[in-house]
Structure 1
Amino acid sequence: MTLKKREQIEKPLQKHGGRLGKGEEYCGTCYGAEESDEQCCNSCEEVREAYKKKGWALTNPDLIDQCAREDFVERVKTQHGEGCSVHGFLDVSKVAGNFHFAPGKGYYESNVDVPELTAEGGFNITHKINKLSFGTEFPGAVNPLDGAQWTQPASDGTYQYFIKVVPTIYNDIRGRKIDSNQFSVTEHFRDGNVQPRPQPGVFFFYDFSPIKVIFTEENRSFLHYLTNLCAIVGGIFTVAGIIDSFIYHGQKALKKKMEIGKYR
């Protein structure tokens, strides 16, 4: 451990600008993000929360005394190249909206979700969707994003899915009703090298269709079966009659030509 590091741990930076003295109570600075003169930020997390409330991005956490003492930057670097697996359920209103996966915690500035963390070289948002559905599964349902996989070609960017959700009702043969949804999707990638620079992450924008689809299972009657059977038999006889007529008239014409001496 270096001397500077030991000093940061044993004598953290005080709000007044000096180091913690003997018998003095610790009250860390919020680096200008204080909401009041009495507010203290004694940890890296408290500094980050204060910045979020102000709508500021923490671009240089290595210069924050609390973050340096807690090895925040080193812990972030050790996670470089790692991924994550997300599983769960999300309740959404039946209006247009979006949900997304982005690195770090975000904050809102001018109604825009801004990422807290930045990375040199950008973030790799390569991803695979094992399963994504809207509502309860029902027989015959097809979710177009199940098993979808995408590998990021550029250094940074935003991958967007635009989903059109169609409300669906499935009534099975036992009278059970399933309220669910189907959806279609289009995809788009925004390169991170353009201006304004998009937020890195995977975004799902969804909208609900005003049309509802209803599936109903029904038993077909025996009369319906007989009607189909008669139609099939009638079709077979019709085709057989056409073939028989073609062969008969062909043979008759050939025999007539042979009789008049055209074929010897």
Structure 2
Amino acid sequence: MDSFVSKIRSLDAYPKINEDFYSRTLSGGVITLASSIIMTLLFISELRLYLHAATETKLVVDTSRGETLRINFDITFPAIPCSILSVDAMDISGEQHLDIRHDIIKKRIDVLGNVIETRKEGIGSPTIDRPLQRHGGRLEHNETYCGSCYGAEGSDDHCCNTCEDVREAYRKKGWALTNPDEIDQCKREGFLEKIKEEEGEGCNMYGFLEVNKVAGNFHFAPGKSFQQSNVHVHDLLTFQKDSYNISHKINRLTYGEYFPGVVNPLDGVKWTQETPHGMYQYFIKVVPTVYTDVSGHTIQTNQFSVTEHFKGADFGRFQSIPGVFFFYDLSPIKVTFTEQHASFLHFLTNVCAIVGGVFTVSGILDSFIYHGQKAIKKKMELGKFS
């Protein structure tokens, strides 16, 4: 048995030094204390890295098809009333959404930015008080109202019962409504009076658009839009104004959901118009993005970059629609962010590397100081007795 134990003892790769040969020094104690503090701090730092997820970034080709793009916006126009401001969206596939109202809220604001009224519709509903019928007479007792569309009827039984109905019928025909006071419905509803009441007000418009995931644009501009000879135009004659101030502040603009670390470059951007007429344009490059958190939850969203351009008018005449336009295009490259924890084995390896590295460096430093002190002391003793 003793011989077996002796053989095992002979395999010891870590031979021990007899305690009689130990020499404890002040410098060794200081170095040991300092190295212990350093190891503790490095261990805490490594533990934090282990507990917090790291984000891995990859670039892949975007092969998604048939998806939609959600655009969230919150924009304030301090000098354009809500009653004349509209939003349109169109894309290269030919799809158009004109004068969008669903999922959009308008807030009337005064010159100080205080909210006057929050509403979804621009003008409001009419009050029917013996209005002019389609056949020219007034509404009689028990007679169903059917207002004239003033030549813009789409069919024989088409009725325009409100000023908005007449404007919509004109829009579909590609006509401009030059004088609302000549339209019974508009006159009865006080269309121009309501616009004049909002003179000097601003508008905060917020909500979202759901569009095809292809290149396109959406824009905010005064007047009702329509197509005329395949050209997108806005009916500005209705409001009887010479110029429009399109100064604006973008409180928020995102393409998709928020995810941790995203930076939306247009949030908080403000622009003030200094010329009478013009169009402000944002050219946006949308980058599809997939964010997966440490629990495996995936967010399909987008990032974007942007450049800006102001297009003015020559000789005081409109060369383009006054408004704020957002032209967007999609990148064929998708960015993926994946959160993940480091493995415990990786953490353990790093801890061992920290302990071993600090211990080794401390040992070298301690040996250098100890032998240096010993050599100096020996030289001093030789000099004393010589």
Taking structure 1 as the reference length, the TM-score comes to 0.69
Give the secondary structure class of the aligned counterpart of 1:102.
strand
**2:325 matched to 1:215?**
no
Give the secondary structure class of the aligned counterpart of 2:258.
coil
Percentage of matched positions with identical amino acids: 59
Q: Tell whether the 8 Å contact from 1:158 to 1:203 is kept in structure 2 after alignment.
A: yes
Query: Structure 1 residues 233 and 216, CA, compared in 2 at 3 Å: closer, same or farther?
Result: farther
| 1:156-192 superposed Cα distances (whole Å, 9 cap, x missing partner) | 2221111101111223333333222110001111224
Partner of 1:95: 214
Once the 2 structures are TM-superposed, how far is the Cα of residue 34 of structure 1 from its aligned partner?
3.6
Once the 2 structures are TM-superposed, how far is the Cα of residue 46 of structure 1 from its aligned partner?
3.3
Q: Please identify, of 214-223 and 51-60, the stretch whose mean Cα deviation from structure 2 is larger.
A: 214-223
**1:1-264 alignment, distance < 5 Å:** 20=138, 29-35=148-154, 41=160, 43-118=162-237, 119-193=240-314, 197-220=319-342, 221-222=346-347, 223-224=349-350
| 1:193-227 superposed Cα distances (whole Å, 9 cap, x missing partner) | 46662112211111110111122334343335776
Counterpart Cα distance in 1 of 2:354 and 2:325: 50
Counterpart Cα distance in 2 of 1:117 and 1:86: 20
Q: Tell whether the 8 Å contact from 2:277 to 2:318 is kept in structure 1 after alignment.
A: no
Counterpart Cα distance in 2 of 1:42 and 1:192: 38
Counterpart Cα distance in 1 of 2:304 and 2:213: 13
The one-letter code of the counterpart of 2:189 is E
Larger Rg: 2
Counterpart Cα distance in 1 of 2:194 and 2:256: 38
Query: Structure 1 residues 74 and 225, CA, compared in 2 at 3 Å: closer, same or farther?
Result: farther
Once the 2 structures are TM-superposed, how far is the Cα of residue 64 of structure 1 from its aligned partner?
3.0
**Alignment length (residue pairs):** 226
The one-letter code of the counterpart of 1:104 is G
Give the secondary structure class of the aligned counterpart of 1:58.
coil
Greater relative CO, 1 or 2 (CA 8 Å, sep 6+): 2
The one-letter code of the counterpart of 2:260 is P
Tell me the C-alpha RMSD between the 2 structures.
3.7
| 1:66-106 superposed Cα distances (whole Å, 9 cap, x missing partner) | 32333211111111222222222222222101112222332
The one-letter code of the counterpart of 2:195 is V
The one-letter code of the counterpart of 2:328 is Y
Q: Please identify, of 215-224 and 130-139, the stretch whose mean Cα deviation from structure 2 is larger.
A: 215-224
Q: Please identify, of 92-101 and 104-113, the stretch whose mean Cα deviation from structure 2 is larger.
A: 104-113
Give the secondary structure class of the aligned counterpart of 2:253.
coil
Counterpart Cα distance in 2 of 1:191 and 1:88: 28
Give the secondary structure class of the aligned counterpart of 1:92.
strand
Give the secondary structure class of the aligned counterpart of 1:33.
coil
Counterpart Cα distance in 2 of 1:94 and 1:59: 37
In structure 2, stretches of 5+ residues that fail to align are: 1-127, 361-386
Q: Please identify, of 86-95 and 125-134, the stretch whose mean Cα deviation from structure 2 is larger.
A: 86-95
Once the 2 structures are TM-superposed, how far is the Cα of residue 35 of structure 1 from its aligned partner?
4.1
Q: Tell whether the 8 Å contact from 1:166 to 1:211 is kept in structure 2 after alignment.
A: yes
Q: Whose strand fraction is larger, Structure 1's or Structure 2's?
A: 2
The one-letter code of the counterpart of 1:124 is N
Partner of 2:99: none
Taking structure 2 as the reference length, the TM-score comes to 0.50
In structure 1, stretches of 5+ residues that fail to align are: 1-8, 235-264
Partner of 1:240: none
Q: Tell whether the 8 Å contact from 2:171 to 2:224 is kept in structure 1 after alignment.
A: no
Give the secondary structure class of the aligned counterpart of 1:125.
coil
Give the secondary structure class of the aligned counterpart of 1:68.
helix
Give the secondary structure class of the aligned counterpart of 2:291.
strand
